[in-house]
Amino acid sequence: MKNNILHTAESRFLADHGWLKSAQTFSFHDHYDPQRLQFGALRVLNDDIVNGGKGFGRHPHDNMEIISIPLEGTLEHQDSMGNVAVIRPGEIQAMSAGTGIYHTEFNKNADEPVTFLQIWLYPNKLNVTPRYDQRDYGKGDMHNKFLQILSPNADDEGVWINQQAWFHIGNLDAGFETAYQLKDASNGLYVFVIKGDIAVDGQPLSTRDGYGLWPDSEVKITASSYAEVLLMEIPEKW
Amino acid sequence: MVNVNILVLADHQEILETIIRLINKNEEWNGVGVSDYQEAAQAFEKSKFDLVLLGVGVDDETESRILQLCHSNDPGIVCMRHFGGGSGLLYSEIKHALAQH
């Protein structure tokens, strides 16, 4: 039986570059911990704050599924495929880097920070043609339910990626109880608490805590305060 | 002082150059970039490598041939896929590979 793993908010790697403050759940850039490399195909979970007007200059990616979810502020994306886009809270961006792309990401606003989650998954296909996708999920019903925002299927809800993964997001009232049923019983579930306090199969979690588990099929989630929660269903192998 | 020689194979020239530049920022590492199997074979004739990273554009057949090439030179060479194109993961991938060496 695979072990569940708790990543408290305080245990994350912290990188402070002045213009960028990044809390990193898994080993990234100069941080290396062999115990914190990945959760299945989930390789990067960075909680980034970028100062007004600043951002990531032109840099490459390949063979990775890259997802950005803004939580506060506005992020501007430009890439070598010719895409120019602005993403805001309530939107999700997915990029299949495949055979290689270059892109920039900047805070669109000069006078306020942008906070966003940067999530990378290993792809289940190498060297695919790069692609970009962006969806608005903000008008979907997330109140006391989990709204699907990512899947492996182009004709399903949310963005799609080259991996057997599903993401859901929900805003739960204090005291609300629900259960998440895995789409694929062989997958694991990585729970990230954007805000608030919850329990996942009895494991208490607070703001910015992460918890990876390998349930048989269903996970019980209970909110002990108002909570915003991201569920990432992730394959162990790919 | 260089004590780790790293061969990187990728068919995207700009990304390959980025990876080599990032590797060579570490004074203990020396990166050599090649874009296909033939160049990799020539590099092995000139130098000894501790680690081989297979980057973008390397298909399964080339990966298999490179593995054979590595193991015929030195069964201890770590040969692994590099993901991400140099951004973010390169350092921990190399550290992890060297820990297994």
Q: Which domains does chain A have, with CATH numbers?
A: 12-124 (2.60.120.10), 146-234 (2.60.120.10)
Choose the closest CB to B12 out of A31, A100, A126. A100
DSSP classification of residue A162: S
Tens-digit pLDDT profile for residues B34-68: 999 999 999 999 999 999 999 999 999 999 999 99
pLDDT score at B83: 94
Q: Which of A26, A126, A127 to mutate to test the interface with B (most CBs of B within 10 A)?
A: A126
Looking at per-residue pLDDT, the higher value among A182 and B74 belongs to A182
What does the pLDDT read at residue B48?
A: 93
User: For residue A25, what are the contacts with CB-CB under 8 A and spacing of at least 6?
Assistant: A7, A12, A13, A36, A44, A45, A46, A47, A210
Q: How many helices (H) and strands (E) would you count in chain A?
A: 0, 22
Q: Is the model's pTM score more than 0.80?
A: yes
Mutate to test the interface with A, among B18, B89, B91, B101 (most CBs of A within 10 A): B89
The residue among A146, A188, A181, A145 whose CA lies nearest residue A165 is A188
Q: Tell me if A136 sits within 8 A of A90, measured CB to CB.
A: yes
Secondary structure letter of residue A36 according to DSSP: S
**What are A103's two structure tokens?**
């892109």
Residue A62: which of B56, B92, B96 has the nearest Cβ?
Answer: B56
Q: Are A62 and B99 in contact (CB < 8 Å)?
A: no
Tokens of A120: 């990378």
- Contact at CB, B12 and A62, closer than 8 angstroms: yes
User: 3-state class of A59 per DSSP?
Assistant: strand
Q: Which residue has the tokens 């060479």?
A: B77
Per the structure block, which two tokens stand in for A30? 């100069």
Instruction: Search chain A and give the residue with CA nearest B99.
Output: A34
**Distance in Å, alpha carbon of A79 to nearest chain B alpha carbon:** 14
A32·B92 Cβ contact <8 A: yes
A97:B15 CB<8 A: no
The single-letter code of the amino acid at B4 is: V
Of the partner residues A60, A99, A102, the one whose CB lies closest to the CB of residue B57: A99
Give the pLDDT band of residue B87 (cuts 50, 70, 90): confident
The residue in chain A having the minimum alpha-carbon distance to the alpha carbon of residue B19 is A60
Q: Which residues of chain A carry a pLDDT beneath 50?
A: none
Contacts of B63 in chain A (CB under 8 A): none
pLDDT of residue A1: 62
Task: List CB contacts (< 8 A) between A102 and chain B.
Answer: 14
Q: Give how far A121 is from chain B: nearest CA, Å.
A: 10
Reduced to 3 states (helix: H, G, I; strand: E, B; else coil), residue B92 is helix
What is the reported pLDDT for A91?
Answer: 98
Q: Round to whole Å and give the CA distance between B5 and B18.
A: 17
Distance of CA A125 to the CA centre of its chain: 20
Give residue A2's pLDDT: 83
Q: Chain A partners of B55 at a C-beta cutoff of 8 Å?
A: 62
